[in-house]
Structure 1
């Protein structure tokens, strides 16, 4: 009878992992699917360029701002409970987005989606960290990590299909049945877990964390739009327009710096008084957690940068449709899912840190290969094996690096650890996209300007063409191709955009190389020795 009960509990845990992975898929796909649907949204709702920007970025901004807070709250109120609440909020806001009659209401729905997503991601991580041990833990993190890598690539394909064959509204409506499936599955198969003695909520620390994260990510994602120092494009809300020559971006960075300093000082003050803090200070005394988060941030600088530039290159240089672009990127998703099985097969035989390094090497080879192929002008079909290798590396490195970061984190602090790790990755990703986007568009502008000078175009006309290509992220190239008078200019724009994409890919490979170097600080974790101690001290999750 004991074995039968044990077998049932084991099956439920693995079934629970399936629903946890679907929950991760929900928020990862949503962060990429909307980009493909934007043209259809513009045509249907008639929204302005400013509203377009906020439809894309409102979700990212709120999502990053609340990761740390909800990770900590999960330890206090229950990880399963917060996951379900997050999925409910995400699904309800998806209904609002699907039926939004105006751009303003769509942006509001996206903001609420960001809150729900911030509840989901760290709680999925903390539930895995609290539920699985030993060899099973490595397999569980492999599934979680490959899901993130794969779904980031599947999002554009799904968005292209829904938008092309149905409506952009289905890009949001599809979240509703998935949300219901997740809620039912989690209730049936995932046990509740939370800290035994959670302590009082650090409200001031939570507020400082939200402000610091939001202003930092705002500056990173808006720097190229509004200007890194002086105002290049004035932000506008309704009838109000930013009136100052100084861009809001450096002000946002200054607020973030002050907020982080205040957060640290406040945490030290509460620690001296013996009160709970938003993040337990003892976590950063764990080498695998401290060094692992640094490595994760560095890796994130380059890990998903290719997903920014390559779809643009495929659509505007190669002439792919959104659906064709999604199919091309499917190789990345397949590689990521294959890595899940490979990581599971090596669990117990190869250390997680070694798997991380192998994955990073594969990522570097894949991204560098993409850069070479784009720059050499050979057939796009050669991208497929490179994307597969890259996706395989993401599936290995993302999953196992997350496992290394959380390996020695006590079960009672799983939410705090997961929130911190997710925030580090999100900030690294935002910084990486900012840098890689700057490399792509700055190099494209410089190269295209030089080519147009060689053609003898007047400076005013040259600047207009360069601005049109860069401001549209390459979308203006199609218009230039339509006229025989500008067909040669379109060829120059394609060559310049290809070179910018190549440089961006090599820059991403450089960041991943730095991440590989940073991984050298990750010694073998003590997780194998501590995990049972942590479970006994903090309490194991209960069965459903």
Structure 2
């Protein structure tokens, strides 16, 4: 028996339990939000679109900060940064439980999204540091099943609690998972990080603003107007809606990010993200496929519960009485 086989046979799965639950933590939170929209609308007396902002800001924070999160993990050390962001995710759940207004709820999801932006790259990095060979492949594959399990579980548990008790208790489940993940994180091993790793702040700002602009633009096309500004638009420029202007701004900022990254690479400096991952057609196809899968998942998680609650007038878990 080789050394590698011996290591694989004796490596404990206990660290993976914590990583598996960390993936469930994020997915459960995301899936629980749409189920809770109806309860938030009733409790705070706000329109569904305002309550739905909590979902939007979560995604914004994740998308805008995930690249920076990967660099922070390398700089600080994956295990330490993982524990910190799991703790902040727990704080966001506590904010959801005690928040007195919709502003608290939105702020809580900003904290959760910022935490998830670092948890996402941490999972892959920590699997690579704790497992080898077949165990590593099995561990990576299990993260996908964690997303599916947590999504279905959140719909059932969130729907039942939302109907029988209220929307807040579902986030007590999220808090419990976060505490358990934090405790299990002490079974993980990882390096201490490299303080010499630099973070390209210019690229981070460019890509962050690009994502925020694009998301706000597309998200508000219907409310603010596709071209001409509606009465709901916060402002207008010569009668033109800010939504398409934000989309154009996002595209421009995105192109500036690519130009800056290429310039930094040619200068021999470390970029925020290496564009070599898009160098071949097969690699680009893989990225596009992953984007489509995540986009469809987010669309389903958002639209199905809202359609059931708002359009059909049903509760999160019970059919409408006839």
TM class by shorter chain equals 0.7 to 0.9
Give the match for residue 296 of structure 1: 290
- Per the TM alignment, residue 116 of structure 1 is displaced from its structure 2 partner at its CA by 1.3
Mapped to 2, the partners of 1:209 and 1:176 lie a distance apart of 31
The Cα of 1:8 is off from its aligned counterpart by: 8.7
**Does residue 1:17 correspond to 2:16, yes or no?**
yes
Select the structure of larger CA radius of gyration. 1
Deviation at 1:91, TM superposition (A): 0.9
CA-CA distance at 1:69 after TM superposition: 1.8
**Correspondence for 1:168:** 167
Deviation at 1:44, TM superposition (A): 2.0
| Stretches of structure 2 lacking an aligned partner (at least 5 in a row) | none
C-alpha contact 1:208 1:260 (8 A) present in aligned 2? yes
Superposition deviation, residue 50 in structure 1: 5.1
The answer to whether 1:242 aligns with 2:235 is: yes
- State the Cα deviation string for residues 308-366 of structure 1 (Å, max 9, x = none): 454456567887641247xxxxxxxxxxxxxxxxxxxxxxxxxxxxxxxxxxxxxxxxx
Q: Considering only aligned residues, what root-mean-square deviation do their CA atoms show, in Å?
A: 3.1
Judged with a 3 Å threshold, the aligned counterparts in structure 2 of structure 1 residues 224 and 158 are, in CA distance, closer, same or farther, namely: farther
d(CA) in 1 for partners of 2:205, 2:165: 41
Deviations along 1:411-468, one digit per CA (max 9) or x if unpaired, are xxxxxxxxxxxxxxxxxxxxxxxxxxxxxxxxxxxxxxxxxxxxxxxxxxxxxxxxxx
Check whether the contact 1:218–1:252 (CA below 8 A) recurs between aligned residues. yes
**Paired position in structure 1 for 2:273:** 279
How many Å separate the matches in 2 of 1:224 and 1:29? 28
The 8 Å contact of residues 228 and 241 in structure 2, kept in 1 or not, is answered as yes
Q: Which residue of 2 aligns with 1:71?
A: 70
Deviations 1:44-94 (A, max 9, x none): 222345532323322222222212221232222222222222111111122
- CA shift in 2, pair 1:200/1:96, >3 Å: same
Equivalent runs, 1:300-311 vs 2, <5 Å:
300-303=294-297, 305-311=299-305
Q: Within 2, Cα distance between the matches of 1:35 and 1:309?
A: 8
* TM-score where L is the length of structure 2: 0.85
Q: CA deviation at 1:225?
A: 3.4
User: CA, structure 1 residues 128+290, in 2 after alignment: closer, same or farther (shift >3 Å)?
Assistant: farther
Q: Distance in 1 between matches of 2:40 and 2:177?
A: 22
Count of equivalent residues: 319
Q: 1:171 to 1:207 in 2, by over 3 A?
A: same
- The yes-or-no answer on 1:41 pairing with 2:40 is yes
Local SS of the residue matching 1:323: coil
Q: Distance in 2 between matches of 1:151 and 1:269?
A: 42
In structure 2, the CA distance between the partners of 1:307 and 1:99, relative to structure 1 (3 Å rule), is: closer
Output the CA distance in 2 between the equivalents of 1:246 and 1:81: 48
The structure-2 alpha-carbon separation of the partners of 1:130 and 1:192, relative to structure 1 and needing over 3 Å to count, comes to closer
Provide the rounded CA distance (Å) in 1 between the counterparts of 2:144 and 2:48.
Answer: 34
SS of residue in 2 equivalent to 1:174: helix
What is the CA–CA distance in structure 1 between the aligned matches of 2:122 and 2:95, rounded to whole Å?
A: 24
1:110 equivalent in alignment to 2:103: no
Say which of 196, 199, 205 aligns to 2:197: 199
